[in-house]
Amino acid sequence: MLLVGLTGGIGSGKSTVADALVARGAVLIDADRIVHDLQRPGTVVFDEMVDRFGEGIVAADGSLDRKAVADIVFADPDALAKLGAIVHPRVHQEIERRVAEQADTGNVVILDIPLLGEAGWPGILGTIVVDLASEVAVERLVAHRGFSESDARARIEAQMGREERLAFADFVVDNSGSVEDLEAEVERAWGWIQGLAGS
């Protein structure tokens, strides 16, 4: 197994890059998707979140109302810490399980973790950071994901700063250009990953 970290701020296009690497043959372990799986109704995580934050975080269809959760935790550091205490240990355990499943393979395994810079992960051979200016990220979050400008800025400010993130990158994918430009950047990243395999 060749374990490569992938991270980037909200609105950076990290998921698009991850999917493009999967199209080239990589196996993806995506922390955000694991979180969504663990927060489905009927799970321990879902039940603990409702116990902690109340029925107001349950949507009309019985699923988790993610916006209601975000409205609570991004305005309250204590609430955010309590959410982390419920979610993070379970996510960590599931990532460990999936990495272990790949250990004896020859696969390129992309570990997509938003907080990779803050938390790290053992055994990673290199880390790719998807980068673009915060102003561009705000524009894309508003245009494509329905964020208000103030919410987009608050989410970006709650994360590690751009310079800090770039400081631990082993490889940077520049996503400030067009879709075609990004495809060329991913191809360059795939070449770098293949180089890791030979080193």
Contacts (Cβ under 8 Å, ≥6 apart) of 82: 52
Sheet of 27-30: strand order equals 27-30, 108-112, 2-8, 126-131, 171-174
Report, as an integer, the average pLDDT of 147-151. 87
What local confidence, expressed as pLDDT, does residue 180 receive?
Answer: 94
What local confidence, expressed as pLDDT, does residue 199 receive?
Answer: 62
Report, as an integer, the average pLDDT of 149-172. 86
**In percent, how much of the chain has pLDDT > 90?**
65
Terminal CA-to-CA distance of the chain, rounded, Å?
14
The confidence band for 134, taking pLDDT boundaries of 50, 70 and 90, is confident
Contacts (Cβ under 8 Å, ≥6 apart) of 134: 9, 156, 162
Q: Which of 17-26, 72-81, 108-117, 153-162 has the lowest mean pLDDT?
A: 153-162
Is residue 117's pLDDT more than 80?
no
Largest CA distance in the chain: 53
Distance CA 162, CA 129 (A): 10
Q: Which of 44-58, 59-73, 106-120 has the lowest mean pLDDT?
A: 106-120
Report, as an integer, the average pLDDT of 152-160. 82
Q: Which residues does residue 7 pair with via DSSP β-bridges, in sequence order?
A: 129
